Amino acid sequence: MTLAGVLLAAVIHVYQTAYNASSRAEAVSIAVLAAESKLAEIGVSIPLQPGETQGRFSSGQRWRVRIVPYGGIAANIRDRLPVEAFEVSVSIFGASGKTDLVTLRTVRLTPRRRDG
């Protein structure tokens, strides 16, 4: 009977581990969709300009959008381009907000604003 108990405990542990991995994968998949949705809002309802915006979805997940000037272009070249480049990152956090489930990063271009 002891061997059966040990085997049962091992089988339960395997199923629990698989369930937890499946739940995590589902949460990450949902977070990726949410992040892609927020990326689609950049330049539409979220201005494409340096700064940080954050909020919460109805599901309880928090999101954060950070936009910074893209630093991968030398300044002497960047100033002559007809566009401005920004690095955009969208992070989705679980309901607890302690760790991010996913962060997507991209570079977005916008026509350069000429003062004067």
Of 47, 68, 65, 48, the C-alpha closest to 56 is 65
Per-residue pLDDT of the chain (116 residues; tens, 9 = 90+): 576 676 666 667 666 676 666 666 788 888 888 899 999 999 899 999 999 999 998 888 899 999 999 988 887 888 888 999 999 999 999 877 667 789 999 999 989 876 64
Cβ count within 10 A of residue 38: 21
Please give the Cα distance from 45 to 23 (Å, whole number). 31
Per-residue model confidence (pLDDT) at position 116: 46
Can you give the pTM of this predicted structure?
0.74
Per-residue model confidence (pLDDT) at position 18: 63
Distances (CA, A) of 101 to 22, 36, 46, 83, 98: 14, 13, 21, 32, 10
- What domains lie within the chain, and their CATH numbers? 2-111 (3.30.1300.30)
Contact 106, 88 (CB under 8 A): yes
